[in-house]
Chains A and B, each alone.
Chain A
């Protein structure tokens, strides 16, 4: 009987495929097969957030059907402020004109009304990782192929950036304090075990830190972090447990390497925030399939108390539901903790580290 459980990728040196997507449809400006650098724009979109409705047939005192005879612009035309939109010659050489009140685009003519939209922002999507474009995702973005390590985070702010990794933590659960952020670490992505002061984020932002990767973070700081312009990535969970050993070991080994934090939500994103640490060396190794059935020997991370955030190895899979200390019966497995203790854990409360 097959059992599948949730998985988390914590994989060193693999072939990584990164989806880079715009929040809205736009234009892709890189070609398939093209190599890009992290700061290179791969796609862009124009955001329109303001609309103007001009009741021109009322203004000109003509019927809606007649209006098209006098328009000097068409749907989709770019317009600038002061540009003539309508030009009507009347009796005795009298002319009636109407000028555009804004820079933007003619959106539509509807029932005698001209609808204009004002360009408010051009969104540029940077690659953030060096790699090769291997696929387009409609007119939303691209899939990039690169090589290096990949960590799926538990949570992140809706943000992204890239920089060099700087491991500040000496142990997976070492507490981090604002005073540890100095000018020397500006432009870096900091790796810390855990922290509980908002000041860490404020000081990091003010110092020019590119992002923070932490093992865990209390819920109240997570909520406030979303309001600070700084990518914050939590690898393991909410609270003050710190970072799990496999994640810490991988990050520690990657100290100084170019890293991308990919946490921006595109609206259609279903995947989790990703930390991509780039390597120069190529590989043909792909990440393990997340859909593989659970097997004895699999490394798992435990997601609930009393073993929250502990890493263990599956030692026995049960077919029938077993009782837990709370009295609830659940399907699950025996796992061996790092201290050698063997305990029963429901499948629902573990995720395979692949």
Chain B
């Protein structure tokens, strides 16, 4: 019986099994979600190198290898001998009901940003572009002291994938923006002759038809809601959606071998950051709070803030733990990285290490020093992307190999606290299996299954963190309290400048009563205490009373202090 014939004779199961492939720039992860022992859960996942670049030039090779690993581990067949996907799932356990693809393996969408004024419309345009995998090739605006001829030369020289035009309030001035659109129109000629150039217009809505008319013979014009309908209002959602779709079409859609992923998925491939944003929003709705997401990728770093209704994404594609890590040296001095390393290290060693890591992005640290060094780099990368001021949040979700590969979980929590310098009270979970975007994709197709998968322990709960703020002096008690847990009752008394950890096992619920000093704020007002219920985790309950912002350390005390912090969080 052929597969096609067999497919016709079998009905898919009611609760669909999902195979979700995430193709990153360095690694491809395939995750299998299905029902086991009556619960929907992550059955297994496997990782292989991404094969979009030389020498393979076919993204499917990495997907096949990861699926074959999954077959070896689970004993289930997902591919035919001809490497066709077996779908839907069979009674004998082979095959899969649905396949979903997520990707960030493509280069960022190179974009020319065109608008009227740097501090108004272009600023909004930049925020739109920071929501996904884009690289701003150049900006053309009236604020620049460049004439039209220079604008034109810059536009043509950069050969962007996308020209993103913003500017003008609805019903506002028209001529100056139209003049810029004319320049764009001239520039598109030779660009479009080489390869399609996309234009997205998200400016004065009264100009939409004029813009379409000016550009219609040269390229396809996408139109989004005005990012600045008036000076007081910013409306980024619609433009963000379209830019994401364009990344999916123009960049992911042209990865070598991607047509097979399309055959298997039959839907647009979801950009990884969008899948991560979806799960962050899902968490926010589920827990009725605000979620901070951190994705420390190989070729991008993103920090996102999600509530049940919206997600703000702050992304940099010129930074990452892989090839773009070299650009960190343009942002910070080596000394800024060295300050987080609990061993002596020279500026030259840091520069050499970063350059070497940039050439070998897939490598992982196997010595203690290199592990600390990668963590130090991670701190500075996250700091470069973190918005200021960082809003308060209830849940911190973090992903990325540097975070999940720390030898001890306390190191991951310390890394996040140093990098983000958050305040308030929140829980921390790590994406230890690298499947949070896959869960985001699952949430789109089968939202109820996500709850079951989460309850089955797909994330690594590190515990809860309390960060008091306010003025204190070294040695002075800033927070006192009582922890009542199944292990017994403990007293808390944390001094200013210290980081204190109380062990609370994973899954255990503890009641804690907190009373800060009268000048100290836990997020409920200065001197105001509270009784809370928290869940334990791999680290436990952490009280970070080191103060905000973290004070710079004297060189002679630095190594001892950093080592002590690591020690105090069990790292």
Contact = CB atoms under 8 A, between A and B. Distances in A.
B209 interface: no
Contact of B55 (A48, A237, A267, A291): A291
Contact of A219 (B68, B148, B352, B362): B352
A289 B61 CA distance: 14
Interface string B327-371: 000000000000000000000100110111001101111111111
A272 interface: yes
B366 A108 contact: no
A4 B365 CA distance: 20
B445 interface: no
Interface string A1-42: 111111100000000000000000100000000000000000
A28 to B, nearest CB: 16
B102 interface: no
Given A154-B359, A238-B359, A305-B366, A1 B72 contact: yes
A325 B153 contact: no
A348 B48 contact: no
User: Looking at B57, B68, B348, B369, which has the most chain A CB atoms within 10 Å of its CB?
Assistant: B348
Question: Main SS of chain A's interface residues?
Answer: loop
B123 to A, nearest CB: 28
Contacts of B51: 4, 291
A107 B187 CA distance: 10
A325 B186 contact: no
Given A327-B371, A328-B371, A291 B56 contact: yes
A340 interface: no
B75 interface: no
Contact of B364 (A115, A222, A291, A348): A348
Nearest to B370: A305
B148 A304 contact: no
A53 interface: yes
B556 interface: no
A290 B159 CA distance: 32
B152 A218 contact: no
B118 interface: no
Interface residues of B, number: 48
B296 to A, nearest CB: 16
B174 to A, nearest CB: 15
Nearest to A50: B153
Nearest to A75: B189
A305 to B, nearest CB: 5
Contacts of A319: 72
A324 interface: yes
B294 to A, nearest CB: 20
B55 A303 contact: no
A273 to B, nearest CB: 11
Contact of A51 (B56, B152, B159, B352): B152
Contacts of B408: 327
A295 interface: no
A238 B356 contact: yes
Contacts of B54: 270-272, 290
Contacts of B448: none
B463 to A, nearest CB: 19
B206 interface: no
Given A327-B408, A346-B364, A108 B352 contact: no
B351 A6 contact: no
B407 interface: yes
Nearest to A196: B348
Nearest to A237: B356
B407 A328 contact: yes
A74 B412 CA distance: 65
Contacts of A119: none
A220 B351 contact: yes
B364 to A, nearest CB: 5
B49 A6 contact: yes
B312 interface: no
A345 B370 CA distance: 15
Contacts of A49: 153, 157
B182 interface: yes
B61 A326 contact: no
A155 interface: yes
Contacts of A90: none
Nearest to B155: A51
Interface in B386-420: 405-408
Nearest to B64: A2
Contacts of A272: 54
A53 B61 contact: no
Contacts of B454: none
Nearest to A307: B366
Nearest to A234: B359
Interface in A111-128: 111, 115
Given A238-B359, A303-B363, A326-B367, 11 more contacts: A51-B153, A111-B182, A238-B352, A238-B356, A270-B54, A272-B54, A325-B366, A326-B370, A328-B364, A328-B407, A345-B366
8 contacts: A50-B153, A222-B355, A304-B365, A325-B368, A326-B367, A328-B371, A328-B407, A345-B366
Interface of B: 48-49, 51, 53-57, 61, 65, 68-69, 72, 148-149, 152-153, 156-157, 159, 182, 185-186, 189-190, 194, 348, 351-352, 354-356, 359-360, 362-371, 405-408
Interface of A: 1-7, 25, 48-53, 107-108, 110-111, 115, 154-155, 218-220, 222, 237-239, 267, 270-272, 289-291, 303-306, 319, 324-328, 330, 345-346, 348-349
